[in-house]
Structure 1
Amino acid sequence: MPVSDSADRAPGAATDAERGTDGSSDGLPINELFYSLQGEGTLAGVPSVFVRTSGCNLRCWFCDSYHTSWEPTHAWMSLEEILAEIESYDADHVVLTGGEPLLHDDSVALLEALDDRDYHTTVETNGTIYRDAPIDLASISPKLQSSTPTPERDPQGEGEWAERHEADRIDLDTLARLVADYDFQLKFVVTDADDMPEILELLADLRATAEVPIRDDDVLLMPEGATRERLADTRSRVADLAMEHGFRYTPRLHVDLWNDAPET
């Protein structure tokens, strides 16, 4: 797919090179569109079609979708093209992911079209953008301080994103709106016990702000790691933390099965 530097522009600002084959500017920058098993969260193991958009407003140093954030690549697809490919697979579940899919205006149009076709939709979001859309499960992954690409952790070695990422990674009001309006899961990427005080503080703040209860069962701890080797270092620690705090543990099933292969 062609490399583009346009994925972080204002949503909906398509260039001539980013239009669907029918000439319309409607559509989305698609990094991947594939059929697999949901690997994370409460629906882990469910056959699903994944629609991965390109572009993100954050830059986690450990991002497992590097080509949607640090070096965004995509093909521009119209909504009709996206829907046709989704319908070619035998699946009732669609996962809209990224990058940050809610950056894009036409993510709402896609979700509306999927709702009309009776698909169950999961939206994977970092929780910093709110959209009014038919979402069956908002899989919200607030980014912890440990995600910030400090100069020594910046995969591009430039350190330009650290301040912006740190300033934008948590939006409590947006998180509160998302959990109030949608069925949700709060999914935290965890490396070790050092992450827990921040998670507990954020949960306390969110529970005080949100208009709906947030149960411990709504909170998922997921081990950091996009390869089997890295998960071997983190999974048992994170499982122990989930048991200690009464939260849910979620695997990264796709990594266990296919390591870091694309389209999994």
Structure 2
Amino acid sequence: MSEFVRTLAAPSLRLSEVFRSIQGEGELAGTDSLFVRTIGCNLRCRWCDTPYTSHAPERGERVAVDDLAERILNEDCEHVVLTGGEPLLTPGVVPLTEALRAAGRHVTIETAGTVFRPVAADLISLSPKLSNSTPDGRWAARHEATRDAPAVVARLLSEFDYQLKFVVEGPGDLPEIERWLADHNVGRDAGRSRVFLMPQARTAAEYERLAPRVRALAEALGFRFGPRLHVARWGDRRGV
């Protein structure tokens, strides 16, 4: 087999970027983390903050999983976050997460919960998409039909440690969140501590305006407020 054919057959994925920053959201907010962002998404959220991996995708870089794992492991960083786009779209995340976990890294996967892969993950950071995510135009029907996959969600929640992060625009989103939790049989009693409400904000000014309101809503209902530290600090700046 030629080296060219062997390279094509090796597990690979389309990579947008790798960068080191603080985790801005959820249980591990503030943790030094290495972010690995893949290209590709099966949704088109109206307020998507990474269009270069979704509705306006860049070409990116096709990388072999072995090479990417070596690159990640050369960084002295315990926490690795696979994000996108939707990282679970690509089969290459399975051998990548296996290599990272075998090397002792803590692996978080940020996903919308519409695709399942048997990954090796310490934490599934599941961000269900509410109706406030549905765009106008030709993608609306497809997005609406795809944004909730109960069978996938059930499997993710049963097989992994998880947290739930809901993007909130205002009080009108709360009944839908409660229905989602009831439909998926999660979020009762102590389980509500796994649920984070996050302000829908792309700029620091938007975050400053919305964060106190969302915090009050979360506390009133027994949920947790989900900070977005990267937005508060850097706005919509890329690579941080």
TM category (shorter chain) comes to: over 0.9
Counting helix residues as a fraction of each chain, which structure ranks higher? 2
CA-CA distance at 1:160 after TM superposition:
1.2
Paired residues of 2:208 and 2:232 also in contact (CA < 8 A):
no
Map of 2:212 onto structure 1 = 236
Q: Which runs of 5+ in 1 are unaligned?
A: 1-18, 151-158
Counterpart residue identity of residue 241, structure 1: L
TM-score (norm 1): 0.85
Counterpart residue identity of residue 228, structure 1: A
Distance 1:162 1:214, change over 3 A: farther
Paired residues of 2:165 and 2:196 also in contact (CA < 8 A):
yes
Map of 1:117 onto structure 2 = 103
1:36-185 alignment to 2 at 5 Å?
A: 36-73=21-58, 74-150=60-136, 159-185=137-163
Give the distance between the partners of 1:263 and 1:205, measured in 2 at CA. Answer: 36
Render the CA deviation track for 1:25-75: whole Å, top value 9, x for unaligned: 521111111111111010011111100000000000101111000111111
Give the distance between the partners of 1:219 and 1:206, measured in 2 at CA. Answer: 13
CA-CA distance at 1:20 after TM superposition:
11
Render the CA deviation track for 1:202-235: whole Å, top value 9, x for unaligned: 1011117x9x987010111011112112212321
SS in 2 for 1:95: strand
CA-CA distance at 1:21 after TM superposition:
11
CA-atom RMSD in angstroms: 2.0
CA-CA distance at 1:171 after TM superposition:
1.1
Paired residues of 2:94 and 2:119 also in contact (CA < 8 A):
yes
Paired residues of 1:21 and 1:77 also in contact (CA < 8 A):
no
Paired residues of 1:20 and 1:27 also in contact (CA < 8 A):
no
Map of 1:205 onto structure 2 = 183
Give structure 1 regions of 4+ aligned residues with deviation exceeding 4 angstroms: 19-25
Map of 2:170 onto structure 1 = 192
Distance 1:214 1:128, change over 3 A: farther
Give the distance between the partners of 2:148 and 2:181, measured in 1 at CA. Answer: 12
Map of 1:153 onto structure 2 = none
Give the distance between the partners of 2:127 and 2:103, measured in 1 at CA. Answer: 27
Give the distance between the partners of 2:7 and 2:184, measured in 1 at CA. Answer: 44
State the aligned residue count.
Answer: 236
Distance 1:84 1:213, change over 3 A: farther
TM-score (norm 2): 0.93
Give the distance between the partners of 2:222 and 2:180, measured in 1 at CA. Answer: 16
Paired residues of 1:24 and 1:78 also in contact (CA < 8 A):
no
Paired residues of 2:16 and 2:38 also in contact (CA < 8 A):
yes
Paired residues of 1:35 and 1:89 also in contact (CA < 8 A):
no
Give the distance between the partners of 2:139 and 2:56, measured in 1 at CA. Answer: 13
Distance 1:207 1:20, change over 3 A: farther
